[in-house]
Chains A and B, each alone.
Chain A
Amino acid sequence: MEAFSAIVLQAEEASQFDPEAKNIAAAASAGYAYGLAAIGPALGIGFLVGKSVEAMARQPEAAGMVRTTMFLGIAFTEALALIGFVVFILLKFA
């Protein structure tokens, strides 16, 4: 949180003097938003797939069902990253 506060403070200070610095700060913030939004789903998908493979190993006859659940779980988890991506494009390009 301290790092974020420092970034926001630097951005505010820089934007008072230089409009270009404001753009740079906005780009950095967008990058942070996208990066942080991608980390959480990546952890979630890793955990989800690991547990799914464990379930398939325990019950190979249920592998099809587990794969369907896994695919839907991945897609739902990925929605978080896509929300982060949308925030990124709105901050960076819009």
Chain B
Amino acid sequence: MDPMSTRFDGPAPEVGVSNDMIKRGVIVAPVLIAICGVIWGADGAWSSAYGVVIILANFALAAGLIAMAAKISVGLMMGATLFGYLTRLGLIFLAVFLVKDTSWISFPAIGSTIIVTHLGLLFWEMKYVALSLAHPGLKPERVSSTPRPTHPTDPIH
């Protein structure tokens, strides 16, 4: 395998995983914002919302970078992953630096939200990842079984 010319044209499983985490993040965000609002007040709620947005954007950017680079070459995927890590850390720093002097920022709230959201969503997602050759990304959704006919005159009996 030549890492400079080998590429993966198929569907990107990391995008599916990332989208699923973002979906769950949007669901759980009001709870986190409410908890931070109770502890740190309105500033905490705004900071918590900002932290959730940062983490969800970070997941989306990470998955997008890997998926895009894997379609070009495996070598580029390696580079994009490492430099993507540095770039994303820089962007997170920039996102916090830009709002550090605003009136609504609460650093304990945004810090705790970043850690709890990131780790919580990851551990939660572990439940829905299949990791099998048939389903490399998420587990397939369970198909609802149709009710079987029970009347004796039904053709199935």
A residues with a Cβ closer than 8 A to B are 38, 41-42, 45-46, 49-50, 53, 56-57, 60-65, 67-72, 74-76, 78-79, 81-83, 85-86, 89-90, 93-94
Contact = CB atoms under 8 A, between A and B. Distances in A.
B52 interface: no
Given A49-B82, A94-B108, A82 B14 contact: no
Q: How large is the interface on B (under 10, 10 to 19, 20 to 34, 35 or more residues)?
A: 35 or more
B122 interface: yes
7 contacts: A60-B1, A65-B13, A68-B136, A71-B14, A79-B122, A86-B112, A90-B111
Contact of A89 (B86, B111, B129): B111
B133 A75 contact: no
A85 B66 contact: no
Highest count of chain B CB atoms <10 Å: which of A46, A85, A89: A89
B77 to A, nearest CB: 7
Contacts, number: 115
B59 A75 contact: yes
Highest count of chain A CB atoms <10 Å: which of B110, B129, B136, B137: B136
Contacts of B68: none
A42 B122 contact: no
Interface in B43-74: 59, 62-63, 66, 70, 74
